[in-house]
């Protein structure tokens, strides 16, 4: 049956998080319709059995061997074909009222947008920056070595973190975190799925957003849609951990892939979609969010 959203989540022995995530998703009233796929990434903690008992409407795809994040996400997307949009949902997300409705309404009103992300909040309800400018080698090096505090006030770090962005206003951004994002099916058909050949963990979201821009799609931040994200940041908090090594390896492959510079510049023949939408969207965004009010 056709629906608005195909929601994909992945668990690697994260039953407590999956329990909280799915409970928050199904407990709230939504006007949009959705289907959910859980990719059980060779879990040994009973995730699949628990979900099957408590949320039998969730489609479970089980891996016999562990796979990387982007490959698991693509498995889930291929398993769910009924939604007009795809929504990636990390297990450490707690859905807040209006999240799905706001994202779908925004995408419906802005057919030029390929990917959009919501406002993410920390568990204490403070802002968690979830949109960025494209990475530079300097930003990767500083954050990879856990030197954020020392260099936080440097201009290139502030620019990377988009500290100049009003996080209560809709805005175009270079990329949004894959913890929770909505993607247009048409854009996936044109651009492709996440790159699961280049990345095992990390960088797949930034790569996807860059490819969207270069194919002529826009990427936007939508603060009226909100969720809580228990962001682990393992690669940043533990600079010499396996997660950190994956992060640096993925960053290196990403820079290689994009000739050492990520950019929004569309490929030839795709400029029209972006340029033709800018004037129109000023009025649409303004009118739409005046009605809804700020979160």
Domain boundaries, the chain: 3-292
Predicted confidence at residue 148, as pLDDT, reads: 57
Q: Strands (DSSP E) along the chain, which ranges? A: 3-11, 34-41, 59-63, 83-89, 93-95, 113-121, 127-128, 131-132, 171-172, 175-176, 180-184, 218-229
Predicted confidence at residue 77, as pLDDT, reads: 98
DSSP class of 133 = P
Closest CA relative to residue 101, chosen from 45, 33, 18, 192: 33
User: What is the CATH class of 3-292?
Assistant: alpha beta
Predicted confidence at residue 240, as pLDDT, reads: 55
Q: pLDDT 10s digit of each residue in the chain, 295 long? A: 899 999 999 999 999 999 999 999 999 999 999 999 999 999 999 999 999 999 999 999 999 999 999 999 999 999 999 999 999 999 999 999 999 999 999 999 999 999 999 999 999 999 998 999 998 877 776 655 555 555 556 666 777 778 888 999 999 999 999 999 999 999 999 999 999 999 999 999 999 999 999 999 999 999 999 999 997 654 445 555 677 788 888 998 999 999 888 999 886 765 444 444 433 443 433 444 344 444 3
Task: Kindly report the backbone phi and psi dihedral angles of residue 116, in degrees, each rounded to the nearest multiple of 5, phi listed first.
Answer: -140, 150
Predicted confidence at residue 274, as pLDDT, reads: 42
Collapsing DSSP to helix, strand or coil, 205 comes out as helix
| Burial class, 81, CB count within 10 angstroms (exposed 0-12 / middle 13-18 / buried 19+) | exposed
């Amino acid at each position: 049956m056709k629906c608005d959203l195909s929601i994909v989540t992945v668990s690697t022995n994260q039953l407590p998080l999956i329990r909280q995530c799915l409970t928050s998703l199904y407990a709230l009233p939504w006007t949009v319709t959705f289907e959910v796929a859980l990719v059980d990434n060779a879990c040994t903690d009973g995730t699949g059995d628990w979900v099957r008992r408590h949320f039998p409407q969730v489609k479970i795809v089980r891996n016999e061997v562990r796979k990387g994040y982007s490959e698991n996400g693509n498995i889930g997307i291929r398993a769910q074909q009924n939604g007009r949009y795809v929504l990636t949902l990390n297990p450490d997300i707690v859905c807040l009222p209006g999240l799905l409705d706001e994202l779908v309404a925004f995408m419906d009103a802005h057919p030029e947008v390929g990917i959009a992300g919501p406002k993410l909040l920390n568990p204490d309800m403070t802002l968690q920056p979830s949109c960025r400018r494209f990475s530079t080698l300097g930003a990767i090096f500083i954050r990879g070595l856990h030197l954020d505090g020392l260099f936080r006030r440097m201009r290139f770090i502030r620019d990377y973190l988009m500290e100049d962005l009003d996080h209560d206003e809709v805005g175009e951004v270079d990329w949004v975190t894959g913890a929770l994002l909505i993607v247009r099916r048409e854009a996936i058909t044109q651009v492709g799925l996440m790159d699961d050949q280049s990345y095992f963990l990390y960088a797949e979201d930034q790569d996807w957003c860059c490819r969207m821009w270069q194919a002529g799609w826009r990427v936007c931040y939508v603060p009226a849609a909100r969720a809580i994200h228990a962001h682990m940041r393992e690669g940043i908090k533990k600079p010499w951990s396996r997660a950190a090594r994956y992060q640096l390896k993925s960053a290196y492959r990403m820079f290689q892939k994009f000739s050492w510079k990520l950019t929004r510049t569309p490929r030839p023949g795709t400029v029209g979609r972006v340029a033709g939408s800018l004037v129109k969207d000023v009025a649409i965004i303004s009118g739409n969010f005046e009605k809804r009010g700020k979160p």
